[in-house]
C-alpha cells in the first residue's frame, strides 16, 4: 500500500470519527441549552462528512450499488461474527458491564443490518419501498413500523425515530 493510500485511509477514519463526535457534541449542547453551539457542531460535522466522502471516493471504495451492498454485508457480518464477540468477552472479563451491554446491543443490531442489506441485494431491482425506524437506545433498525417493544433492548415504541 502506498503512503498516499494509507494517508487516505487514516484521513477517512479521522473525518468519520470527527463527524460522529461532533453530532454527539451537538446533542449535548442542545440538552444544555446552547442551540447556536449545537448548530456549529452540526455544520462542522457536515463538513467532516464532505471530507470523508471525498477521501472514500479517492480510495476507490465507492463502487456500484451491488458491490457496495456486498461490502456492507461483509463488514456487518465481520462485526457480529468476529469483532464484537471478542469485545464482549474482553469487557466481561474486565468487569465493564455497561460497555459489555453496549457491545452486545451493537453486535445484535449489526446482524440485523447485514440481513437488511442481504434482502436489498437479493431484491435490488424490485425492492419494495419502505420506511426505516431506529431504536434510539440500541440502534435496532426495522422496516415500515416501529415495534411496540424493541426486540434487542426492550425500549418502548416511542424510543424509535425515522431518520431524515
Report CA 134 to chain centroid distance, whole Å.
11
Helix, strand or coil for residue 140?
Answer: coil
For position 51, what pLDDT does the model report? 98
Reading the block at residue 29, the C-alpha cell is 449542547
Q: 30-51, pLDDT tens digit by residue? A: 999 999 999 999 999 999 999 9
For position 150, what pLDDT does the model report? 98
For position 1, what pLDDT does the model report? 87
For position 132, what pLDDT does the model report? 97
Q: 120-134, pLDDT tens digit by residue? A: 999 999 999 999 999
For position 164, what pLDDT does the model report? 82
* List of domains in the chain: 3-58 (1.20.1260.10), 64-127 (1.20.1260.10), 128-164 (2.20.28.10)
For position 23, what pLDDT does the model report? 97
Q: 54-71, pLDDT tens digit by residue? A: 999 999 999 999 999 999
Q: Is 86 exposed, middle or buried (0-12, 13-18, 19+ CB in 10 A)?
A: exposed
Quote helix, strand, coil % in the chain, to nearest 5: 70, 5, 25
Q: What CA–CA distance (Å, rounded) separates 132 from 142?
A: 6
Strands 160-161 and 141-143: unpaired
C-beta of residue 136 within 8 angstroms of C-beta of residue 161: yes
Q: Is 3 exposed, middle or buried (0-12, 13-18, 19+ CB in 10 A)?
A: exposed
For position 45, what pLDDT does the model report? 97
Mean pLDDT across 100-108: 98
Residue with cell 424490485: 126
Q: What CA–CA distance (Å, rounded) separates 65 from 36?
A: 37
Q: What is the dihedral of CA 2, 5, 10, 12, to 10 degrees?
A: 180
Amino acid at each position: 500500500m502506498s503512503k498516499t493510500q494509507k494517508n487516505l485511509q487514516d484521513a477517512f477514519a479521522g473525518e468519520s470519527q470527527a463527524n460522529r463526535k461532533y453530532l454527539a457534541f451537538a446533542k449535548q449542547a442542545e440538552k444544555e441549552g446552547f442551540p447556536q453551539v449545537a448548530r456549529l457542531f452540526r455544520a462542522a460535522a457536515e463538513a467532516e462528512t464532505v471530507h470523508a466522502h471525498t477521501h472514500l471516493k479517492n480510495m476507490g471504495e465507492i463502487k456500484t450499488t451491488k458491490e457496495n451492498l456486498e461490502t456492507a454485508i461483509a463488514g456487518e457480518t465481520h462485526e457480529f461474527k468476529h469483532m464484537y464477540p471478542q469485545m464482549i468477552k474482553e469487557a466481561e472479563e474486565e468487569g465493564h458491564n455497561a460497555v459489555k451491554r453496549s457491545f452486545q446491543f451493537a453486535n445484535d443490531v449489526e446482524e440485523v443490518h447485514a440481513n437488511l442489506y442481504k434482502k436489498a441485494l437479493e431484491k435490488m431491482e424490485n425492492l419494495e419501498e419502505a420506511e426505516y425506524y431506529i431504536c434510539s437506545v440500541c440502534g435496532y433498525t426495522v422496516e415500515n413500523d416501529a415495534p411496540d417493544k424493541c426486540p434487542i433492548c426492550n425500549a418502548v415504541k416511542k424510543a424509535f425515530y425515522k431518520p431524515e
